[in-house]
Amino acid sequence: MAYATYEDFKALYGDSKLAEAGFSRLSWEAEQLLDIATTGVDGVRKLRRAFPVDEHDAQAVRRCVCALVDTLQQLDDAAESIRKAQALVENADGTVQSRLVASRSSGSESISYATGSAARAGGTAVDAAVSDQTARARLLDDMVRRYLSGVPDANGVNLLFLGRYPVKLEV
């Protein structure tokens, strides 16, 4: 069962350039993140076993998946931009190293490179998350918490409750 469809995504992010195939790939990753965040210590995957029946709660799950997909796409785009901006530089001793191009001029051909933390620094949380796995995990976890805090599953158990599932489930 998919938690959100491409139609849900297009309704929320209509101006997105993400095609259906890209959505399929990224929504799978987003759903895995949700399954991890909503699975308690006893291994009960709440969204798989008791998806919310209340429309408002189900909508919160769909919107969370779509927001995660959008953010994952932004992360992919930012990483691709960084890959394209990198250039190989030959040092005076003949060694070659890869550096991030900070600026280029055309007239007398001037190129300057970012060094140290300037090569990794970005202005947004997405920029920071591209090069730092801890920042990436924090960004995605914060999104899940923002969308799913206080949202119950079909049995009334909070989706983010990580203790033992308090309701007997049918096998």
> For residue 1, is pLDDT > 80?
yes
**What's the pLDDT at 118?**
43
- For the chain, what are the domain ranges? 6-85+124-148
Percent of the chain with pLDDT over 90: 57
pLDDT in tens, 29-76: 999 999 999 999 999 999 999 999 999 999 999 999 999 999 999 998
Tokens of residue 57, six digits: 């709660």
Burial of 64-97, coded b for 16+ CB within 10 Å and e otherwise, reads bbbbbbbbbbbbeebeeebeeeeeeeeeeeeeee
**What is the sign, positive or negative, of the torsion defined by CA atoms of 21, 23, 26, 31?**
negative
Average pLDDT over residues 137-162: 96
pLDDT in tens, 63-78: 999 999 999 999 988 8
pLDDT category of residue 113 using cuts at 50, 70 and 90: low
In which order are the strands placed within the sheet that holds 96-105?
86-90, 96-105, 110-114
The rounded distance, in Å, linking the Cα atoms of 83 and 1 is: 35
> For residue 92, is pLDDT > 60?
yes
| Cβ neighbours, 10 Å, residue 102 | 13
pTM (two decimals): 0.76
DSSP per-residue letters across 58-122: HHHHHHHHHHHHHHHHHHHHHHHHHHHHEEEEE-TTS-EEEEEEEEEETTTTEEEEE-GGGGT--
Q: Which residues contact 35 (CB under 8 A, 6 or more apart)?
A: 45, 47, 48
Nearest to 151 by CA among 62, 63, 52, 64: 52
